[in-house]
Copies of this chain bind each other. A is one copy, B any other.
């Protein structure tokens, strides 16, 4: 496994990799969710590249860029075991050189849900993902369904900019109690950690009601909200039943819908989602 920092080093190493090349973009502090993406990539591709970059431009000024967890030595140890060909760990100045001023933005999809809560977040994501793709030039790229809206945005970006890459979205990995795996879970204190299972519980209560015949989006939002409210340590930011393609909030009956939510435990913000219906 080779580790590189700069784009010229990356390009040189990339040239020697057998095709198809799969890219797994990460912000490091790898957990089983990331590793499931890497395993999938190793299964499907002749060579796998993992990038580790905590991208400053997708964090808001009040967000946790500074305190986002990092552990490169442990990340490398985990990747070493998985038959990864190349790990790219760029410095911030490599990705955003002096005078940097070019941004990629996916318009309306970026304004809803997470984008509404985190202005500029998806502009940072779209820009860095474009750069990761143009630098690595992978045939396939792997992202997690955990960031459901991000997945839709990246698919749109790839289509709109004719990027020659196939985007593969992998299922959410969960702890035993259903909590979606996230690098940020490490910051939950023991009580918050227990309480955090409420996100998945709320999604499942809504799913159960749907399976029992409840088909009104407004009613499902209420059901999820009631479940969140019953957990004293949880403060919801939003609870959504949205069109899974457009991310527009839905009202009335539906065939297929994206249930999603953002919930805070103290300063720690968690998200989760579930697609229900056909």
Contact = CB atoms under 8 A, between A and B. Distances in A.
B131 A161 contact: yes
Contacts of A160: 97, 100-102, 131
Nearest to A160: B102
Nearest to A101: B107
A237 interface: no
Copy number in the complex reads 2
A162 B109 contact: no
A57 to B, nearest CB: 12
Question: Which range holds the interface residue count of chain A?
Answer: 20 to 34
A163 interface: yes
Contacts of A162: 7, 131, 134-135
A15 to B, nearest CB: 11
A54 interface: no
Query: Which of A97, A130, A164 lies at the interface centre, i.e. has the most chain B CB atoms within 10 A of its CB?
Result: A130
A111 to B, nearest CB: 10
A130 B7 contact: no
Interface string A170-190: 000000000000000000000
21 contacts: A11-B164, A97-B159, A97-B160, A100-B160, A101-B106, A101-B107, A101-B109, A101-B156, A102-B105, A102-B126, A102-B156, A102-B157, A102-B161, A103-B104, A103-B105, A104-B104, A104-B161, A131-B162, A134-B162, A135-B162, A137-B164
